[in-house]
């Protein structure tokens, strides 16, 4: 039997952790159902990696980190359990990805876990060759390999502290720590889904249903370089200044629902928290002439406009992302939209409230350098698709009526596809009670709603 690679480290009895497997009955069911589908984050990453040598990063920290955040989003109690026991995972810092022997396409990667600035453990992720099963294990004991890894990460943080105290602060950004291959590689791992020989289970294990949504090539709503987008939006909605912006934009949306002659309005948030009105508020668009030093913006839609972001809105988001301080801050940019329709319902209005965030790479931002002819074509396609969707019962409450949430969200993802931005934009829906949902387009063109 040939030697297994580093993965043997994860399966040594001396490295086993006291936590039991966290997989619930629901998780096992999802894993069994989805095991044959590739984990969305790995499929997307490897596809982009193969297409471009200039990808923002070739390190597997991106899909491993995204998958971990997706898991924590679905099982927040596991995140709390791990943090209480070991500390917080730093997804900005990782080892290089470690590949298998010849013919072995598995991947292994380590992240540090910290308490009070000290590395207390490492969490190791392993994805199988088929990319449809992934697990994470925490390691914290006296084994020489683990001590080596912990010390290697700790040295980085010690160096960073010294640098921060100097006159030449460093930009943390994405950090890859080069580690050597641990020495004990002889334990068997049969990839049975239960941890293999010598390990009763994993701290976090599963397939596509647990790591990355329900679509094999689904979207990428998680950015490990930044705060979780759900948390970003939750915090944004609690900001008193943004609450007032939302009320003002909502008021204009109500006016537009009553009067076809009412136009759009918009406001932009600067980096210092200052709120500024749009430079132009017109029938069907708002214009911000100066978006430098801006975090994001909100605007309304009119009676006749679709109640979801249009092609000009999507391009505005790309511009807002481009003015962020660095690539790791792209996901901080946002663009909110509120539309309203009259209804026989409490309050007399039905509201459509969406926020979009950028989740692509620097190369995707060049699409904002569009021509007028391109924009005109995208707008025409947007309107044509809106009309087509309104003839399908599932997309409207009444045939011939405006699109409902399902129809609007299909329109949005179809628009991203026509603009060459599929999987580059995060779509979040906010209901009247402030509940936030992330909307994901699956590979079979169905939609999945992931509550924040």
The predicted-structure confidence for 181-210, as pLDDT tens digits, reads as follows 554 422 334 223 333 333 446 788 888 878
Same domain for 193 and 261, yes or no, is no
Closest CA to 205 of 31, 45, 393: 31
Rounded-to-integer distance, Cα 121 and Cα 33, Å: 32
432 inside domain: yes
More confident residue, 285 or 185: 285
The answer to the question of residue 390 being in a domain is: yes
Cα distances from 2 to residues 156, 157, 185, 196, in angstroms, run 34, 37, 10, 16
- Inside any domain, residue 1: no
Same domain, residue pair 322 and 233: yes
Q: Residue 2 domain-assigned?
A: no
Given a cut of 70, is residue 373 above it in pLDDT? Answer: yes
Q: Which of 93-107, 238-252, 415-429 has the lowest mean pLDDT?
A: 93-107
- With beta carbons less than 8 A apart as the criterion, state whether 406 and 437 touch: no
What mean pLDDT is predicted for residues 360-380? 86
- Confidence at residue 14, expressed as pLDDT on a 0 to 100 scale: 30
Whether 109 maps to a domain, the answer reads yes
Residues 195 and 266 in one domain: no
Residues 335 and 391 in one domain: yes
pLDDT higher than threshold 90 for residue 385: yes
Q: Whole domain around residue 73: which residue ranges? A: 7-206
Confidence of residue 312 (pLDDT cuts 50, 70, 90): very high
Lowest-pLDDT range, 28-37, 158-167, 349-358, 366-375?
28-37
Cα–Cα separations (whole angstroms), residue 173 to 162, 349, 369, 408: 17, 45, 26, 36
Total domains, the chain? 2
The pLDDT assigned to 149 comes to 86
pLDDT of residue 101 exceeding 50: yes
Cβ(45)–Cβ(62) under 8 Å? Answer: yes
Distance from C-alpha of 42 to C-alpha of 354, rounded to nearest angstrom: 27
pLDDT higher than 50, residue 22: no
DSSP code, position 396: B
pTM assigned to the model: 0.54
Query: Per mean pLDDT, which range of 15-29, 103-117, 375-389 is the poorest?
Result: 15-29
CB-CB neighbours of 396 under 10 Å: 17
Residue 224 lies in a domain: no
Specify whether 99 is located in the same domain as 174: yes
What is the per-residue pLDDT for 51?
A: 56
pLDDT, tens only, 49-95: 665 444 445 678 888 988 898 888 888 888 888 988 889 998 888 98
Assess whether 57 and 158 both reside in one domain: yes
Q: What is the pLDDT of residue 16?
A: 30
* Same domain, residue pair 393 and 274: yes
**Where does a domain end: 171, 206, 241?**
206
Q: Identify whether 84 is part of a domain.
A: yes
Pairing mode, strands 275-277 and 266-270: antiparallel
Average pLDDT, the chain: 76
Residue 226 binned pLDDT confidence (cut-offs 50, 70, 90): very low
Q: Does pLDDT of 324 surpass 50?
A: yes
Burial level of 398, CB count in 10 A (0-12/13-18/19+)?
exposed
Residues 440, 298 share a domain: yes
């Amino acid at each position: 039997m040939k030697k297994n690679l580093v993965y043997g480290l994860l399966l040594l009895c001396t490295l086993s952790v006291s936590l039991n497997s966290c997989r619930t009955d629901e998780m096992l069911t999802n894993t069994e159902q989805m095991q044959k589908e590739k984990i969305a984050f790995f499929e997307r990453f490897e596809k982009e990696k193969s297409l471009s040598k200039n990808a923002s990063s070739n390190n597997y920290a991106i899909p491993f980190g995204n998958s971990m955040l997706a898991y924590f989003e679905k099982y927040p109690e596991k995140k709390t359990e791990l943090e209480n026991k070991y500390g917080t995972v730093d997804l900005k810092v990782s080892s290089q990805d470690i590949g298998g022997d010849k013919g072995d396409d598995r991947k292994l990667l380590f992240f540090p876990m910290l308490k009070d600035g000290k590395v207390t453990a490492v969490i190791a992720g392993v994805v199988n060759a088929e990319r449809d099963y992934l697990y994470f294990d925490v390691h914290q004991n006296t084994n020489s390999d683990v001590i080596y890894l912990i010390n290697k990460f700790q040295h980085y943080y010690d160096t960073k502290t010294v640098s921060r105290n100097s006159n030449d602060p460093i930009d943390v950004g994405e950090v890859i720590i080069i580690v050597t291959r641990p020495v004990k590689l002889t334990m068997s791992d049969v990839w049975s889904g239960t941890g293999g020989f010598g390990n009763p289970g994993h701290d976090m294990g599963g397939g596509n249903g647990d790591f990355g949504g329900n679509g094999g090539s689904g979207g990428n709503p998680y950015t490990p370089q930044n705060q979780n987008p759900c948390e970003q939006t939750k915090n944004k909605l609690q900001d008193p200044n943004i609450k007032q912006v939302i009320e003002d934009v909502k008021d204009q949306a109500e006016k537009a629902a009553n009067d076809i002659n009412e136009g759009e309005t918009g406001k932009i948030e600067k980096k210092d928290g200052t709120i500024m009105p749009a430079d132009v508020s017109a029938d069907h668009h708002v214009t911000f002439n100066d978006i430098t030093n801006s975090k994001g913006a909100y605007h309304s839609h009119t009676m006749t406009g679709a109640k979801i972001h249009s092609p000009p809105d999507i391009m505005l988001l790309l511009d807002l992302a481009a003015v962020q301080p660095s690539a790791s801050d792209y996901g901080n940019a946002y663009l909110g939209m509120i539309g309203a329709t009259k209804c026989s319902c409490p309050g007399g209005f039905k509201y459509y409230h969406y926020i979009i965030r950028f989740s692509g790479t620097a190369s995707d931002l060049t699409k904002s350098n569009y021509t007028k002819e391109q924009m005109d074509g995208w707008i025409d396609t947007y309107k044509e698709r809106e009309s087509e969707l309104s003839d399908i019962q599932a997309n409207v409450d009444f045939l011939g009526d405006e699109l409902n949430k399902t129809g609007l969200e299909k329109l949005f993802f179809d628009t991203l596809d026509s603009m060459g931005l599929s999987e580059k934009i995060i779509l979040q829906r906010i209901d009247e009670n402030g509940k936030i949902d992330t909307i994901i387009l699956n590979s079979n063109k169905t939609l999945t709603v992931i509550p924040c």
